[in-house]
Chains A and B, each alone.
Chain A
Amino acid sequence: AQTVTQSQPEMSVQEAETVTLSCTYDTSESDYYLFWYKQPPSRQMILVIRQEAYKQQNATENRFSVNFQKAAKSFSLKISDSQLGDAAMYFCAYLNAGNMLTFGGGTRLMVKP
């Protein structure tokens, strides 16, 4: 079974600054997908970014980018030019070959004005 670990329960960042959220995972599979989801106070789970393991190029979506290190089984999320609306819980997730998601415990991001 896969495990996903987010070692930072809470992070804070100054508005307009950059922050990196960490995620590591454990797997014996070679083909899989990784995701970051955002959960604001509304509780809605919102997809932030997705990475296919077979792609060497790191995914980017506007101010959000990842640092995917397959050998190290590391998948960190970088948020540039942080905005107040970025404040939320962020979950790292692993999708296995059986089409099932495993989530990390989450990181609460606070953005200071």
Chain B
Amino acid sequence: DAGVIQSPRHEVTEMGQEVTLRCKPISGHNSLFWYRQTMMRGLELLIYFNNNVPIDDSGMPEDRFSAKMPNASFSTLKIQPSEPRDSAVYFCASSTKQETQYFGPGTRLLVL
């Protein structure tokens, strides 16, 4: 079975540019999570979807960040405009309710 798929794996962009990260959850999983990992703050939950509906977005840093889940097999995390402090590894994870979360390989974002 395919695991969680994320694209791109690496992204280098300049400050002010729009960045879109993509995620395909494991088929049959109805919960999807976006995390950010930095040296300073560790692993942080940004947003949690259940059945395509955002349940908790309290971890989204500010209005520059937005996330969508138009259907059960696709989600995006968008940063507009990007800033150097957004440089991090962004993970997508999926699960069924109250079960193990399985993580994608991550997207390493560098904003210059």
Q: Which residues of A contact B (CB under 8 A)?
A: 33, 35, 37, 42-47, 50, 91, 95, 97-103, 105-106
Contact = CB atoms under 8 A, between A and B. Distances in A.
Given A43-B106, A44-B105, A99 B42 contact: no
A103 B38 CA distance: 13
B71 interface: no
B73 to A, nearest CB: 19
A42 B93 CA distance: 16
A43 B55 CA distance: 27
Contacts of A101: 33, 45, 101
Interface in B13-48: 31, 33, 37, 42-43, 45, 48
Interface of B: 31, 33, 37, 42-43, 45, 48, 50, 55-56, 89, 91, 93, 95, 97-98, 100-103, 105-106, 108
Contact of B50 (A35, A37, A99, A103): A99
Contacts of B95: 99
B45 A43 contact: no
A104 to B, nearest CB: 8
Contacts of A45: 91, 93, 103, 106
Contacts of A95: 98, 101
Contact of A105 (B31, B42, B102): B42
A112 B13 CA distance: 38
Nearest to B43: A103
A106 to B, nearest CB: 7
Contacts of B102: 47
Contacts of A33: 98, 100
Given A47-B102, A99-B48, A100-B48, 5 more contacts: A42-B105, A99-B31, A99-B50, A99-B97, A100-B45
